[in-house]
Structure 1
């Protein structure tokens, strides 16, 4: 069972629909016992970094997430959910994240003269930094769907699996440190490529 963590700010139903399509058993829940009994976790997210962390801490989800990750349970953060995996975010105010990955979240640079506008919305191709099981049977250069204004910086390069380029911005598209994984784009909105990534995530727990 994959538990999609519900803290009121996620793209929950579309993630659930994608997992259902793949035949991966899943449940949307914020119950601590569900999270503890799961085989893997997905942390989705749409919205602002400080608000998300405030809610996660209010519900004590930060503690249980860290406990389960320390047991080597696979965790996949999506969009804002990926950003929350890092040490801190600078969206309006500086706010501590979950601190599961080294790095922080800062606003992307725009360049209106060259049509580089923020937020970054739409399809962009993935460039591989290293091999990873999440990209089994997926060729480099495939396009995925992004919607964001902030991105990870000052991360460990060995944690970077794949990235996209948007003007001056090198966007970490997929990061991974052992059982902790993140996708800045939305796999559930990225067609067959996104479904293949979610399928590969599901293979990690079989």
Structure 2
């Protein structure tokens, strides 16, 4: 049975590439900024690329910030991707300080070393990198859309900032870049969100979308 999935359209990013994956999996989706359509969905996808502050302004102007919060409170599934992952957090330091949706407690920070200086690595991180389980964690891997994905598998990343959740039990995977270990995906109740792009991550990414549909 096909699920009614809506990709949130707030004027940020290439939404069609995500929609094409769902079409490939025989579950076509809607791309919409209509609040009624969003609330009637079985599940939401919040993707995005670009600047955090601009994205939040767009969400607020379209009243989508409230719709997303209300949707999450229904207990229905939400998937965040890349910038959409970061927007779920409390705040970001990208180009100033900006409040996020505050669905997940934590901050979005720039890749820096302990002295606050650039790590001397290429920013943004663009390309393949490994995801892996935290050493000490709640083992949610096999209960998540990552089931059938191997620990230390590669996913495709494009980002300059990373998230730092306050509650470590919500961290599903970690990744290292330039010596910095950071959270690359989370699982919190009905929310699954990733820093990487599953739609650009070969068959493993397609499998993640398929598994997520099955959890709806």
TM-score range, shorter chain: over 0.9
Pick aligned residue for 1:86 from 77, 85, 89? 89
Of the structure 1 ranges 166-175 and 37-46, higher mean CA displacement relative to structure 2 is found in 166-175
Give the corresponding residue for 1:192. Answer: 203
Q: What's the TM-score, normalizing by structure 2?
A: 0.90
The answer to whether the 8 Å contact 2:111/2:119 transfers is no
List, as ranges, runs of 4+ consecutive aligned residues in structure 1 with deviation greater than 6 Å: none
Kindly provide the CA deviation profile for residues 33-78 of structure 1, in whole angstroms up to 9, marking residues without a partner as x: 1101100000011100000000100100011111110000111110
Counterpart check, 1:118 vs 2:123: yes
Q: Which runs of 5+ in 1 are unaligned?
A: none
Counterpart check, 1:131 vs 2:140: yes
Of the structure 1 ranges 151-160 and 55-64, higher mean CA displacement relative to structure 2 is found in 151-160
Q: Which runs of 5+ in 2 are unaligned?
A: 113-117
Q: How does 1:18-167 map to 2 (within 5 A)?
A: 18-109=21-112, 110-112=118-120, 116-129=121-134, 130-132=139-141, 133-167=144-178
Cα separation, 1, equivalents of 2:165 and 2:179: 15
The answer to whether the 8 Å contact 1:10/1:44 transfers is yes
The alignment yields a C-alpha RMSD, in angstroms, of 1.1
Cα separation, 1, equivalents of 2:110 and 2:210: 31
Q: What's the TM-score, normalizing by structure 1?
A: 0.94
Pick aligned residue for 1:180 from 191, 198, 210? 191
Pick aligned residue for 2:213 from 196, 202, 205? 202
Of the structure 1 ranges 39-48 and 159-168, higher mean CA displacement relative to structure 2 is found in 159-168
Of the structure 1 ranges 25-34 and 94-103, higher mean CA displacement relative to structure 2 is found in 25-34
Question: How far is 1:171 from its partner?
Answer: 2.5
Cα separation, 1, equivalents of 2:97 and 2:37: 31
Of the structure 1 ranges 165-174 and 60-69, higher mean CA displacement relative to structure 2 is found in 165-174
